[in-house]
Amino acid sequence: MGLTDTSFEVLLTLWRVLVVGVVWTEEICGQCSGVLLSHSIADLTHMSSRVVKNAPKLNGSVDGRETWSGKVDFLLSVIGFAVDLANVWRFPYLCYKNGGGAFLVPYCIMLVVGGIPLFYMELALGQFNRKGAITCWGRLVPLLKGIGYAVVLIAFYVDFYYNVIIAWALRYFFASFASLLPWTTCDNPWNTLHCRTFDTNISYMFDDSYFVDTYPGNSSLVEDRLDRNSNQGYNSTWYTSAAQEYFNRAILELHESEGLHDLGTIKWDIALCLLMVYLICYFSLWKGISTSGKVVWFTALFPYAVLLILLIRGVTLPGSLEGIRYYLNPNFSAISKAEVWVDAATQVFFSLGPGFGVLLAYASYNKYHNNVYKDALLTSLINSATSFVAGFVIFSVLGYMARASGKSIQDVATEGPGLVFIVYPAAIATMPGSTFWALIFFMMLLTLGLDSSFGGSEAIITALSDEFAIIGNNREIFVASLFTLYFLVGLASCSQGGFYFFHLLDRYAAGYSMLFAVLAEAIAISWIYGTDRFCADIKDMIGFSPGIYWRVCWKFVAPIFLMFIIVYGLMGYEPLTYEDYVYPVWANILGWLIATSSIAMIPGIAIYKIIITPGNFIQRLKILTTPWRDTQQRNADFSSVANGAVRRSFIADEDLNLTKEQQNLTKEQTEVMIQSRENVNGDPPPEPV
């Protein structure tokens, strides 16, 4: 006697309820897995056609995965991650250094042919597979599952030191609650006789230490100062700024350390600021995107408000137009130099941030049919536009500083931490209402850093939670443990010689390793998974397939783009230094071990999977380069009709005798077949090895 479709669905629902009870009882008893008896191939063919024939499209959280509460939460999270401190302290300087407005030509070309395609690729991968980096790559190309582990390890290393920058910003923020900013005077305990305050009568530059060549109209001051320095044994021809001494001697206390081998004591003011940063991160991430998606409404939008305010203030300062002219004045002869193109490609790549697993993790919480194409274009263009506007904010102030100090733009322009912790604070201190300007500036740095920190941490949490059920089921405990580990390791960067440790990680943790990881991603998608298949996946999500331009970029241009950066970078490699300090050989070896440890995950896990996979070598490669979805939808069977549980077996396609309709099931339809197992046990389905 046959069952009607309605009756069958009712019985199936009851059986699934029974499965929940059985599995719950097994878990209470400590039985982590049960043995499911397989039915015959005939049962599979008969039953799968009944269930999947009218399977609904998965949208939102039908598959049990949490989704963003609103589209804007996702967009702000991605923008907040991509727009970080480098947009403020690196792009403007690169633009000025590499031909001004002419630099925009190689920058835009690299953005269009390399940056945006890779950015789009990661977002699409995350949204389609709805998993973190490890599980996602295990499903796409099982042989290269190590890519997932590599990007997680890279994000792990970066978080060890990146949050220290945020701690510095927080320390400056607290120090700004004063009518007289502490980096404006030279009579503090940390100052030396080389210290100079910002004085329009003094030839002044902001960098490591500088030659005093002119003191217009104040020769008596020069003679008096030189005499005092000479009598006290100081080199009378060098001086430092008050802002520089505050950063190096008060905040970092670098003068108390001889190098990486001499970290000295922990600076507890910085350590407490670092602890506060991790507390903010914890309470923003412990509940997942339901909390972080709301926090970014402030942390992602506040920097734009401050940039607008600082831009308006900057262009009203004397000398600001001269600074902007230096920023944009085109020198088209510069773009004939290879290093200009390398700088453009490097800035595009590291600014957009593929390779950390963040974009993939964030997109995995999107609704399945979200228009990820539009999101990729919007967020990447906003990121680049922010960098461009930040240049006006920075160089308007540098022009003001150059005029006030009687120096040229070349003498005051710099990049990196020195720009935001020395040069800009010194300029702010000369403005009326300096306390207000300092507070909003360092709050902007704080929020810029926090957004990027949220992304890096979420990439790790999502990847490990999706791969290991025990972590996903205990997210709060795992996040607390992760941040505790970060804090303990981060204490090394909070010591008197901590900047040397920070600089080592900054150089090696995510440079070449991330480039190699994304190169492996591009090759895996374009040449193993297949560009046509990837485009079909995107069409299934958004209703239209990427055009020939995207296919060419993914398959040819993006890999060349990445290899171009890697080769040129390796050709110009030099051992690590900081100012006059040359890192010892063992430090550079340690740095390369850090860099290669993440990349080694890719061949290491590939070798492991080849070893444990049955069959001869060719058969193993065929299995390990077959996407999990293919194995899932063609080989899925009901192992127990009695309880409705579903699992896969690895049976040859011809033995299944599946209909054409069953062989062409979509990802969403086949996930319906296994969602009872996935939702009940909390485990991802087994992989095809």
523 and 646 both lie in a single domain: no
User: Within this chain, do residues 82 and 109 fall inside the same structural domain, yes or no?
Assistant: yes
Q: What is the rounded CA–CA span in Å between residue 361 and residue 357?
A: 6
530: domain CATH number is 1.20.1740
Q: Which residues are within 8 A (CB) of 529 and not within 5 positions of it... i.e. 6 or more apart? A: 140, 141, 627
SS3 content of the chain, % helix, strand, coil (to 5): 70, 5, 25
**Contacts with 319 (C-beta within 8 Å, 6 or more apart), sequence order:** 399, 400, 401, 402, 403, 404
Find all residues with CB under 8 Å of 94, minimum gap 6, and list them: 103, 343, 344, 347, 415
Asked if residue 18 belongs to a domain, the reply is no
Q: How far apart are CA 283 and CA 352, in angstroms?
A: 26
Same domain flag for 532 and 638 = no
pLDDT of 403 reads 87
Tens digits of per-residue pLDDT, 47-99?
333 333 333 344 444 467 999 999 999 999 999 999 999 999 999 999 988 99
For residues 493 and 500, what is the distance between their CA atoms, to the nearest angstrom? 8
In a domain, 212, yes or no: no
Known binding site for Na(+): residues? 80, 82-83, 87, 351, 383, 448, 451-452
Q: Letter for the amino acid at 138?
A: G
Indicate the range of 325-334, 402-411, 476-485 predicted with least confidence: 402-411
| Average pLDDT, integer, range 510-530 | 94
Per-residue pLDDT at 680: 39
**Burial class of residue 509 in the structure, from the number of CB atoms within 10 Å of its CB (0-12 exposed, 13-18 middle, 19+ buried):** buried
User: What is the predicted pLDDT for the residue at 313?
Assistant: 95
Q: What are phi and psi of 76, to 5 degrees?
A: -65, -35
Among residues 200, 196, 201, the alpha carbon closest in space to that of 183 is found at: 196
Q: What is the pLDDT of residue 215?
A: 32
For residue range 636-688, list pLDDT tens digits in order.
Answer: 443 333 334 443 333 333 334 444 454 454 545 555 544 434 443 334 444 44
Does residue 541 share a domain with residue 627? no
Whether residue 360 sits in one domain with residue 446: yes
Strand partners, 210: 239
Residues 441 and 585 placed together within one structural domain of the fold: yes
Q: Are residues 269 and 416 in the same domain?
A: yes
What pLDDT shows up at residue 59? Answer: 45
> What's residue 632's pLDDT?
63
- 638 sits in which H/E element: strand 636-640
Identify the weakest region by mean pLDDT among 13-22, 67-76, 198-207, 417-426: 13-22
Among 582, 612, 642, the domain boundary falls at 612
Instruction: Examine the domain organization and report whether 628 and 536 are in the same domain.
Output: no
Cβ(134)–Cβ(152) below 8 Å: yes
Nearest CA to 76 among 539, 462, 386? 386
Q: Which residues contact 322 (CB under 8 A, 6 or more apart)?
A: 399, 402, 403, 409
pLDDT of residue 634: 53
Classify each residue of 545-558 as buried b or exposed e, where b means 16 or more C-beta atoms within 10 Å of its C-beta: ebeeebbebbbebb
Beta 210-211 vs 577-578: how paired, if at all? unpaired
Q: Is 189 a domain residue?
A: no
* Angle 327-330-335 from CA coordinates, rounded to 5°: 110
% of the chain with per-residue pLDDT over 90: 66
pTM: 0.80
Q: Answer yes or no: is 621 within a domain.
A: yes
From the centroid of its chain, how far is CA 478?
A: 20
DSSP-derived secondary structure letter, 31:
-
Q: Are residues 109 and 134 in the same domain?
A: yes
The answer to whether residue 201 scores a pLDDT higher than 90 is no
Mean pLDDT of 149-160: 96
What pLDDT score does 649 carry? 37
How far is 287 from 301, CA to CA, in rounded Å? Answer: 22
Query: Does residue 636 share a domain with residue 591?
Result: no
DSSP 3-state of 581 = strand
Cα–Cα distance for residue pair 53/51, rounded to 1 Å: 6
- Count of structural domains, the chain: 2
pLDDT number for residue 64: 76
DSSP characters over 263-330? --SB-HHHHHHHHHHHHHHHHHHTTTHHHHHHHHHHHTTHHHHHHHHHHHHHHTSTTHHHHHHHHH--
Decide: 669 and 122 in contact? Cβ < 8 Å.
no
Burial label, 4 (beta-carbon count in 10 A; 0-12, 13-18, 19+) = exposed
Contacts of 634 (CB under 8 A, 6+ apart): 653, 656, 658, 663
Q: Is residue 130 left, alpha or beta, with left meaning phi > 0 and alpha meaning psi from -120 to 50?
A: left
CA-closest candidate to residue 677, choices 48, 36, 9, 57: 36
Instruction: Name the helix (H) or strand (E) containing 464.
Output: helix 434-467
Residue listed under structure tokens 């008050």: 242
Return the residue matching tokens 């595009």.
Answer: 348
CB 535 within 8 A of CB 551: yes
d(CA 339, CA 564): 11
Neighbours of 650 (CB within 10 A): 11
List beta partners, residue 647: 637
pLDDT digits (tens, 9 = 90+) for 171-195: 999 999 998 999 999 999 999 988 9
Residue 197 within a domain: no
Host domain of residue 443? 65-184+243-612
* 565 & 641 share domain: no
Residue 625 lies in a domain: yes
The pair of structure tokens assigned to 97 is 């250094």
Q: In the prediction, which pLDDT does 630 show? A: 76
Please state, rounded to an integer, the average pLDDT across all residues of the chain.
81
Query: Residue 353 and residue 359: Cα distance in Å, rounded?
Result: 8
Binding site, by residue number, is 80, 82-83, 87, 351, 383, 448, 451-452
Distance of CA 7 to the CA centre of its chain: 50
pLDDT tens digit sequence for 343-376 = 999 999 999 999 899 999 999 999 999 999 999 9
Mean pLDDT within 313-333: 92
Task: Give the whole-angstrom CA distance, residue 249 versus residue 425.
Answer: 16
Helices (H), 406-433: 409-412, 417-418, 424-428
> Does residue 35 lie within any of the structural domains?
no
Q: What are the tens digits of pLDDT across the range 267-303?
A: 999 999 999 999 999 999 999 999 999 999 999 999 9
- pLDDT at 33 > cutoff 60: no
Give pLDDT, residue 651.
35
CA distance 146 to 563: 20
Query: Residue type at 421?
Result: F
Q: Residue 435 falls within a domain, yes or no?
A: yes
* Residues 606 and 622 reside in one and the same domain: no
Give the pLDDT band of residue 26 (cuts 50, 70, 90).
Answer: very low
pLDDT: which is higher, 24 or 137: 137
Tokens of 119: 């950015």
Per-residue pLDDT at 537 exceeds 90: yes
CB atoms within 10 A of CB 664: 11
Residue 51 three-state SS: helix
Cα 132 to Cα 137: distance, rounded to the nearest angstrom: 9
pLDDT tens, 380-439?
Answer: 999 999 999 999 999 999 999 888 877 888 888 888 888 999 999 999 998 899 999 999
Quickly count: other Cβ atoms within 10 Å of residue 324's Cβ: 19
User: Cβ distance 266 to 494 under 8 Å?
Assistant: yes
Q: Is the pLDDT of residue 216 over 60?
A: no
pLDDT over threshold 70, residue 246: yes
Beta-bridge partner residues of 581? 578
Q: State the pairing for strand pair 581-582/210-211.
A: unpaired
**Poorest-pLDDT segment among 4-8, 174-178, 397-401, 513-517:** 4-8
Q: Give the pairing type, strands 195-196 and 238-241.
A: parallel
